[in-house]
Chains A and B, each alone.
Chain A
């Protein structure tokens, strides 16, 4: 009986893997290190590429954020700055004739400010008004200087860049040579203002005479 069992057991020796499996498995395992090395390289490469893409995306995102941030800054700065910036110009154009007409400065400024809601807060407080008045006087003086300077013909310009004194001298000469104006008391005051380097007053008086 044992022999019969052993015969049956030995039948199992006929169980064998296919030749193709034996060959292919052997080859694939022998190539394993090379395959793993390639996979490792690819993995490192993809990791690097991934991190590069990530860094690139981050930088793009950051630069986008920077652009957005810049826009936001400009937007808010614009909103905050708007009431201050145009207010000066409003004053300058309206204030100049008001000054000439002898209207009180602060009242005039408030009136101008009321034309725009955003300007009211700035205009009604004392400090900005005082500051704006000082600036306005400069602006006014510069305008007068430019207007009076532009009235001098090129052939009569004593210099390329005329000084305040040059401008005053030219107009004083013109006023004094005019029979109707040569006896104006303000000529003396203009001269005094010029000598005292109070060119603003001198310009004012010249403008007054010329605008009559």
Chain B
């Protein structure tokens, strides 16, 4: 396989992001004034306990959740200037997610999960990024026609990684990617993510509550009750 860096320019930045769920006395401040930027090709760990705002920040970065206030910029362009469809198109070819529970489409096979994402990306992919090749890359070349229910947790997460790669992402947002896996399998998945990042050069943001996982990445951002408390 030929390694080809996908990311060449600076990508995402948040400025003074606040996300509030609900209203009145029951309102929950998921994020309170978070400002952070992500450079091309870097790997960042988003560290924090459950409920600290990690997932919300990832969703805001990916345009899935609109912040209550503040601005998210993608390549310097505010996401708020894009409508829902345009933000979707942006994700399809630039921002990929890997969720805690893999979130594979249950009625699609492994191949179809990857091919569907590739079709949404609508890019002229090289043969190396074709769905069978991507699944081969994550070690599932023999399970192309398996449904998610027929895969183990680790396998499902690897399909999710292959699906994310099919989007040719500049930014890969991983939300507790090993949360549902045993430690050995989780370790292998993290190794795979690292290897793929090295090979494809996308910016990687991994949300985790585990400090040992966070230690694998170049930069650590720590969130506590929706506030960025440490950056290093």
A and B assemble together: no
